[in-house]
Structure 1
Amino acid sequence: MNDTLQLPIDITHIQELIPHRYPFLLVDKVVELDVDTKQIVCQKNVSYNEPYFQGHFPGRPIMPGVLIIEALAQAGGVMTQLTLGRDAQSKLFYMVKVENARFNKQVIPGDVLMLHVQMKRLIRNMGWYYGEARVNGEVVASAEVMCAGAKG
């Protein structure tokens, strides 16, 4: 972990940590990080210009739930890179399992999605995370996500 890490962490630094790029980079900023408890809070600004709103649903745009889960997994990947440092930098993390996913409220353009993720376990190359996506403090989605690391 870099001792000079300054919060918030912007999109430029996030792109150095995970390989995702537009239109599938779903983390805009890291606003909180607790290395000791392995918790992170990231931000995703939901814009009407997102390409998925053209088809989901025209006239009533709603962010697809699977992309909210992907955003939680990406936040977990950012946290893993920041907390494990060099040990994780040569790995790509692939989502391999989702459990107990719940979608409580629709996410629409203009919402600011706050991604609260905690690493529950890290065993060898497998990480298990619990995440909640919140808008205005209200939980809109939650899930447990397992990711596997592979050489990058």
Structure 2
Amino acid sequence: MHNSRPMFLWSLFTLQVVCTFFFAGDILLDVLGVPESPGNESDVLETGVTICLVLGTAFTGWELRQLFRREERMRRQIDVASGAFADMLQREFDAWGLTEAEQSVALLGIKGYSISEIARLRETKEGTIKAQNASVYRKAGVTGRLQLLSHFVEDLMDDALIASATSKA
């Protein structure tokens, strides 16, 4: 049903559009004073269209409710992953023995800030940031920013990270 769900929803949407045009046309005919054809055919058709609209509206409401639940579940998973990533960063920083300044520089570097941007944010000279970066790379056993980032991306891709964070929640 997962692959057919979009097709079903588009079909339902199309049916609702057709029903809407039917009722709009019926109202237009009533306003213009066009007489209805004799018999109950119009009432039967209107009843069928109304039932379709009611069922379509109920199903759409149910789908929206499911969508909001999935969105909330995904938001919680992202929060867990984000918290797990922050915990992982801190564990690695502690294991490497980074100073508070080195941790701040490393985090800003991982976030993608340039040396000049980090220097401006930390209100220090670029030379100081370069020295702190060199110290971070040495303590982490990497040769540069890309290897440092790669170290964390590899850990992020590990399913155990999410599993351990989920078990804490």
The answer to which structure has the higher helix fraction is 2
Between structure 1 and structure 2, the one with the greater Rg is 2
Q: Same fold (TM over 0.5)?
A: no
Bigger RCO (CA 8 Å, 6+ sep): 1
With the length of structure 1 as denominator, give the TM-score of the two structures.
Answer: 0.27
The answer to which structure has the higher strand fraction is 1
